[in-house]
């Protein structure tokens, strides 16, 4: 899950710049965590305290997502999600935004069973993103992470994504980079994030590739980073630069989750 937080932090300062290159400073003084990190930590907290080996308590997951959202109100949430955070009776709102995919990474570390991980991903998505594409984006991301963690080849991951989730991955980043723009939908950003991972050869390179296409850079890099961590691990200096930008509360949950599940 730290890979998602790295991607979010690195991508945060490039979200509107569309830099279209892999040559950029990985961390700037103003690099910061966004809603991607906050909600990833909320999911991790729910798994730590309210996962019984079969399912996550939906009630507690919602409570924690709202709690963390209110603790970090300026993290950059979308309008409908802001309303959901403050709603005393929060209900899913048929979203297919990429928020479901950017927060899902912790579920891929609590089980070695692919079908179970996909079901957990569905649970974390559908409390807000209950549109089929929103659920699909979360499940596909979690499946990629688990498959990478278990040593699946790029060809195996690509084939599973294309067959199970019907994602068209028959493109390169060079193909799409010139014209790719801001797209916060799962269907318009998850395949791109997966291809960034598939084209990479190390963790840092994966993050750079994800940011290089422009668009919703923090979320695309968060999704790519969550998969890349499972394949490559994270260099110590990158982990340290990221962790020092977290609050004590967020860092404590990350550390507890890593100790228990990773």
Q: Where are the domains of the chain?
A: 2-261
Mean pLDDT by groups of 10 residues along the chain of 262 residues:
97 89 96 98 98 97 98 96 97 98 98 98 98 98 98 98 98 96 96 98 98 96 98 98 98 97 91
CATH code: domain 2-261 is: 1.10.4080.10
Q: For position 211, what pLDDT does the model report?
A: 98
Cross-strand partners of 56? 51
Burial class (CB in 10 A: 0-12, 13-18, 19+), 114: middle
Q: What is the 3-state secondary structure (H, E, C) of the chain?
A: CHHHHHHHHHHCCCCCCCCCCCCCCCCCCCCCCCHHHHHHHHHHHHHHHHECCCCECHHHHHHHHHHHHHHCCCCCCCHHHHHHHHCCCCCCCCCCECHHHHCCHHHHHCCCCHHHHHHHHHHHHHCCCCCHHHHHHHHHHHHHHHHHHCCCCHHHHHHHHHHHCCCCCCCCHHHHCCCCCCCCECCCCHHHHHHHHHCCCCHHHHHHHHHHCCCCHHHHHHHHHHHHHHHHCCCHHHHHHHHCCCCHHHHHHHHHHHHHHC
Q: For position 159, what pLDDT does the model report?
A: 98
Q: For position 16, what pLDDT does the model report?
A: 79
- First CA to last CA distance, the chain: 9
Q: Quote the tokens at residue 130.
A: 């209950």
What CA–CA distance (Å, rounded) separates 145 from 147?
6
Q: For position 161, what pLDDT does the model report?
A: 98
151: alpha, beta or left? (left if phi > 0; alpha if psi -120 to 50): left
């Amino acid at each position: 899950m730290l890979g998602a937080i790295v991607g979010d932090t690195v991508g945060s300062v490039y979200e509107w710049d569309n830099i279209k290159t892999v040559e950029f400073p990985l961390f700037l003084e103003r690099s910061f965590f966004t809603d991607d990190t906050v909600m990833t930590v909320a999911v991790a907290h729910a798994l730590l305290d309210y996962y019984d080996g079969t399912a996550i308590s939906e009630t507690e997951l919602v409570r924690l997502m709202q709690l963390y959202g209110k603790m970090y109100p300026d993290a950059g949430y979308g309008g409908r999600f802001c309303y959901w955070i403050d709603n005393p009776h929060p209900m899913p709102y048929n979203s297919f935004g990429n928020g479901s995919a950017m927060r899902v990474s912790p579920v891929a570390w609590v089980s070695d069973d692919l079908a179970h991980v996909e079901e957990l991903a569905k649970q974390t998505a559908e409390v807000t993103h209950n549109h089929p594409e929103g659920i699909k984006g979360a499940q596909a991301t979690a499946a990629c992470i688990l498959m990478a963690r278990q040593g699946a080849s790029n060809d195996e991951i690509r084939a599973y994504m294309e067959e199970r989730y019907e994602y068209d991955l028959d493109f390169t980043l060079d193909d799409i980079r010139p014209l790719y723009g801001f797209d916060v939908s799962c269907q318009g950003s998850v395949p791109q994030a997966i291809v960034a991972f598939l084209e990479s050869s190390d963790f840092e390179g994966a993050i750079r590739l994800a940011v290089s296409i422009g668009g919703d850079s923090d979320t695309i890099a968060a999704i790519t980073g969550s998969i890349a961590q499972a394949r490559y691990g994270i260099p110590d200096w990158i982990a340290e630069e990221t962790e020092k930008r977290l609050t004590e509360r967020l860092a404590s949950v990350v550390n507890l989750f890593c100790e228990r599940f990773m």
